[in-house]
Amino acid sequence: MEHGAFGDQSNATFSLTEEDHTLANAVRFTLNQDPRVTFCGYSIPHPSDARVNIRVQTTGDPAREVLKDSCQELMLMCRHVRSTFAKAVDDFRTSEKVQAMKIDSKE
């Protein structure tokens, strides 16, 4: 849900349900790094309600597009983290096997 002045597309508050700090802090981090953003922040109106308000103010671009772009970047970052992690675990496992084999062959 987007609450904001309908005349000015560059400032808006987005209210996301069923979300908490997990997504909101990560999205706020990527939003902050975007050069089109002048202000961004998130708040949780009540901890028992699973609802997050994300406020975005930009230098002219519609806030909705900027939020979408940041979510996209976050997705790409997470995808990269996942592939790097999988590769690191595989490398570790093969290097362990190689070490175990080396110890066996020495004996």
Which residue ranges make up the site for other proteins (CB under 8 A)?
A: 20-23, 25-26, 28-30, 32-35, 37, 73-74, 76-78, 80-81, 84-85, 87-89, 91-93, 96
CB of 29 to other proteins, least distance (A): 4
Cβ atoms < 10 Å from Cβ of 50: 12
* Residue 43 structure tokens: 């708040």
Using the minimum distance from each CB to other proteins, give the nearer residue, 41 or 62. Answer: 41
CB of 107 to other proteins, least distance (A): 23
> Are 15 and 5 contacting, i.e. CB atoms less than 8 angstroms apart?
no
CB of 77 to other proteins, least distance (A): 6
Residue that has been written with the tokens 């595989």 in this structure: 90
